[in-house]
């Protein structure tokens, strides 16, 4: 007697994650094209520290870039790490991203030098990287730990960007984005299930 194939929710998660990640990166390119056509008017919507107008930048800064080279450098990491964050559940990945977005943006608004403007997806990229690296440690998921190790091997060198030193680069955005990623991994973790002492047949 034949049986229908069981559903494959994990494959569906990966497909949805891929669509969302591609859609987000496409949005970045559309916004940069709009910025280019408008004479870089959108650049003014970045985070200006400790100003009322700069608070609006917390909303817009992670999807804006200062030119095509800036966007190009962020595109592949955003696509890969965004996908990995969303692959274990799109809803959870979106909430993690929002936590990183807010923590990173508020940190930049509080700590960046006066009269600076900060924009770029690297804030999210650093948060996503830390989230992917450490979430398995909280959930005790072997699969997520392996993914975290691979992400660290591929992109761990980026974490040096949380240190001051490179002119024109917002280490504050990198640092607070990374903090947001760690916070999101802690808040959204699935604790390991307790054994009930009963063997299942």
In a domain, 75, yes or no: yes
> Does residue 195 lie in a domain region?
no
Q: Is residue 92 part of a domain?
A: yes
* Residue in 90, 88, 70, 99 with CA at minimum distance from that of residue 22: 90
In a domain, 4, yes or no: no
Give the list of residues 6+ apart from residue 186 with CB closer than 8 angstroms, or none. Answer: 138
- Asked if the structure places residue 2 within a domain, the reply is no
All residues at 6 or more sequence positions from 193 whose CB lies less than 8 Å from its CB, including other chains: none
Q: How far is Cα 181 from Cα 162, in angstroms, rounded to an integer?
A: 13
Rounded Cα distance between 173 and 91, Å, is 24
> What are the structure tokens assigned to 148, written together?
């975290």
**CATH number of the domain within which 102 lies:** 1.20.1540.10
For residue 198, being part of any structural domain is answered with: no
Whether 159 is covered by a domain: the verdict is: yes
Q: How many domains are there within the chain?
A: 1
Nearest-CA neighbor of 107 among 125, 123, 128? 123
Angstrom distance (rounded) from CA 165 to CA 162: 9
| Structural domain includes residue 18 | yes
Q: How many CA atoms lie within 13 A of 138 on its CB side?
A: 16
Instruction: Check residue 156 and give its pLDDT.
Output: 83
CB 84 within 8 A of CB 144: no
pTM: 0.88
Enumerate residues 6+ apart whose C-beta is below 8 A from 176.
103, 104, 105, 106, 107, 108, 111, 123
Cα gap 144→137, rounded to integer Å: 8
Domain containing 69 equals 9-187
Tens of pLDDT, residue by residue, the chain (201 residues): 345 444 556 678 889 999 999 999 999 999 999 999 999 999 999 999 999 988 999 999 999 999 999 999 999 999 999 999 999 899 999 999 999 999 999 999 999 999 899 999 999 999 999 999 999 888 888 888 898 999 988 888 888 777 776 767 888 999 999 999 999 999 998 765 544 444 343
């Amino acid at each position: 007697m034949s049986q229908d194939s069981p559903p494959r929710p994990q494959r569906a998660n990966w497909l949805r994650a891929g669509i969302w990640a591609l859609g987000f990166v496409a949005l970045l390119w559309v916004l940069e094209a709009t910025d280019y056509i408008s004479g870089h008017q959108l650049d003014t919507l970045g985070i200006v520290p400790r100003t009322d107008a700069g608070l609006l930048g917390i909303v817009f800064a992670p999807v804006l870039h200062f030119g095509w080279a800036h966007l190009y450098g962020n595109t592949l990491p955003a696509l890969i790490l965004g996908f990995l964050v969303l692959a274990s559940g799109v809803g959870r990945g979106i909430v993690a991203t929002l936590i990183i977005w807010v923590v990173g943006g508020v940190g930049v608004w509080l700590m960046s030098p006066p009269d600076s403007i900060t924009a770029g997806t690297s804030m999210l990229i650093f948060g996503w990287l830390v989230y992917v690296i450490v979430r398995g440690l909280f959930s005790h998921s072997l699969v997520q730990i392996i993914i975290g190790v691979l992400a660290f091997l591929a992109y761990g060198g980026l974490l040096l960007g949380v240190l001051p030193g490179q002119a024109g680069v917002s280490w504050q955005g990198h640092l607070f984005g990374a903090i947001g990623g760690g916070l999101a991994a802690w808040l959204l973790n699935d604790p390991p299930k307790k054994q009930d002492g009963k063997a299942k047949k």
